[in-house]
Amino acid sequence: MIAGLLAGCLSALLTIGVYAAEDSFAKLPIHWKWWPAIGGLAVGLGGMIFPQALGVGYDTIRAMLQGDVPRAIIAGVLLVKSAIWIISLGSGTSGGVLAPLLMMGAALGGVEAAFLPSAGAGFWPLVSMGAILAGTMRAPFTAIVFALELTHDVNVLLPLLVAGMLAHATTVLLLKRSILTEKVARHGFHITREYATDPLEVLFVREVMRTQIVALPDEATIESLRDTLIREPAQRGQHLYPVIDGERRLKGVVTRKQLRELTESTDARLSLGDVLRTPVVANVDEPLRAVVFRMAETGFTRLPVVQDGRLAGMVSLNDLLMARVRDLHEERTRERVLRLRLPFRSREASHPRASL
């Protein structure tokens, strides 16, 4: 748990450092094409101070896993390697993430081995490597499997699970985005929080559809439509009318405007079938998310709802909004403070002269 928390904090510091360096380069009064040159200069100076910080560092990682690395090397990796990696990535140069994170995670494990219980050579560097991968890249299971493939030691599975999940949880709570998705968000793209539940995924059409609607028979005449529909004030709120046969099977839909034009026409040859159009429908068992996508693709905001080909109701964009409002209301109701009331009162409290 300590290794996971420390790895999560280091992951957060590295992520903040990379984008703080990027913001600092953006404030320089020089053209952006000079930024990688400045980043390269920082890498060169770091290499002069601590040559082991250059390169991918696989030899250093191997040595740390074997447990025979001096403390000066561990400190140099944590300080110098972290600094040049942050500056080089912040300057816009093309650089990797995996090998440097493994190197810094192994160095963190070397520091932890000095005060945590001994569990064999390379144990804490291995656990910290997996944890820092899980925290920085927000991929805990990938990091755990990577560490297992690296060592083929199944005995470290439980420590890797604990440390990796704690490191991931730490960065999730401390940072809004990971080191990978922050770059995408800075280019203007919205990043979805993967652990957030979309209410439109858990609500279904059958829960929000309206069943009190007017449906027209496919054999209706112009006279019957004129007498029973247009003159009825109660039906003025419906903008789309399904057309069904005798078995309630959906044949098509007609809009109120088309229906009004049809009933006001003097052409006796016109019938309901002349203005009928093929409907875009929703199914009673569909989630609302699929209906929203269908509305966006077709441009229709009102869809008849069918079940086994028969008309079951109608769903509109307003119904979807009302479902979202209901979901928000239920969330707020669940989050209210529960006030406990005692089933009895003391004699002093019940006495009319008693006061606080």
Q: For 102-138, give the secondary structure using H, E and C.
A: HHHHHHHHHHHCCCCCCCCCCHHHHHHHHHHHHHHHC
**Rounded Cα–Cα distance for residues 134 and 144 (Å):** 8
Domains in the chain: boundaries: 2-186, 200-334
Report domain 200-334's class.
Answer: alpha beta
Considering only 20-24, 121-125, 269-273, which range has the smallest mean pLDDT? 269-273
In sequence order, the 6+-apart residues with CB closer than 8 A to the CB of 259 are 225, 229, 230, 241, 275
Rg (CA), the chain: 33
Mean pLDDT across 255-284: 75
In the predicted model, is pLDDT for residue 264 greater than 70?
yes
CB 306 within 8 A of CB 283: yes
In the predicted model, is pLDDT for residue 333 greater than 90?
no
pLDDT of res. 228: 58
Burial of 99 (0-12, 13-18, 19+ CB in 10 A): middle
In the predicted model, is pLDDT for residue 350 greater than 50?
no
Considering only 19-23, 113-117, 129-133, 150-154, which range has the smallest mean pLDDT? 150-154
List the structure tokens of 91: 């300057």
Residue type for position 351: H
Interval 141-163: pLDDT, tens = 988 888 888 778 888 889 999 99
Mean pLDDT across 306-314: 90
Interval 213-257: pLDDT, tens = 888 887 777 777 766 555 554 455 678 888 888 888 888 888 878
**Rounded Cα–Cα distance for residues 128 and 112 (Å):** 9
Alpha helix ranges (H) inside the chain: 2-26, 35-49, 58-66, 71-76, 82-90, 98-112, 123-137, 140-151, 157-174, 181-186, 199-202, 205-208, 222-225, 256-264, 272-275, 288-298, 317-334, 347-350
Is domain 2-186 classified as CATH 1.10.3080.10?
Answer: yes
CB 243 within 8 A of CB 254: yes
Percent of all residues in the chain with a pLDDT value above 90, rounded to a whole number: 13
pLDDT category at 168 given cuts 50, 70, 90 is very high
Residue type for position 84: I
Phi first, then psi: give them for residue 251, nearest 5 degrees: -100, -25
The pTM of the whole model exceeds 0.85 = no
Order of strands, sheet of 240-244, starting from the edge strand that comes earlier in the sequence: 216-217, 240-244, 250-255
pLDDT of res. 170: 92
